[in-house]
Chain A
């Protein structure tokens, strides 16, 4: 049962990720991104990282994909069908796809990692307490820097999206 679920989540992740790449419509691409994230969250659960799976769904699926959808709807780029200046040559596109496929295939075929013994390894990611302990001892400084980063990002977004009166001539 567990292996079956694992395969389902792997398939969901990769197929939905391909859907993001090939979908013409940006709204459909965002929905595929959502599905792919659900798949990754399932893989996190299979790795006993329950908090991270929950956070992935909450932050990515809840906030980021919603933001993407909001911007896609706001910009409404369907009328954006002006002829493009340079068509990406078909050769380059096929070459890109071929290189990516060849890279993954060669990694999957030959790159065997030394397999750690999993039997006695504790699932540290399963306990909330350890996250709190790590965040408030070893990683205390990064947590504070992250707080500043969020503040800076917030201020940056406000500056970017606000129209300033005196700055119109810069355009």
Chain B
């Protein structure tokens, strides 16, 4: 039972990815930027599942499985980096982390 076309799913996925990208571009809080990165990952998984369903293959679904695992590892490491950063600099605002500039 399928309620929408493949095109609809891909448009939703692109829209979700674009919203995530927008967040990465315009937000300054590192944590929120990281959340938007997660949104982009989820958008890509949605496209994979949709393609997999409409073509009757299993590969996309298994890849989503892998993406979920990698995302979990990535979030753990990323948040540890953010905490370490906060310990050093007492801020996680992106535009104040400019030691390498100049």
Interface residues of A (CB under 8 A from B): 2-3, 5-6, 10, 13-14, 17-18, 20-21, 23, 26, 29-30, 33, 36-37, 40, 43-44, 46-49, 52, 55-56, 59-60, 63-64, 67-68, 71-72, 74-75, 77, 80, 82, 84-86, 88, 93, 96-97, 100-101, 103-104, 107-108, 111-113, 115-116, 118, 121-125, 130-131, 134-135, 138-139, 142, 146, 149-150, 153-154, 156-157, 160-161, 171
Task: Write the B37-81 contact mask toward A (1 if CB under 8 angstroms, else 0).
Answer: 011001001100110111111110110111011111111110111
Interface of A is mostly: helix
Shortest CB-to-CB span from A53 to chain B, Å, is 9
Tell me the total A-B contact number using a CB cutoff of 8 A: 232
12 extra interface residue pairs, beta carbon distance < 8 Å, beyond A33-B39, A36-B42: A5-B3, A13-B12, A20-B36, A21-B23, A21-B27, A47-B50, A52-B68, A80-B93, A104-B11, A131-B62, A150-B69, A156-B77
Once the chains bind, are B49 and A161 in contact (CB under 8 Å)? Answer: no
A134 to B9, CA, bound (A): 25
On chain A, the residues within 8 Å of B92 by CB distance are: 75, 77, 80
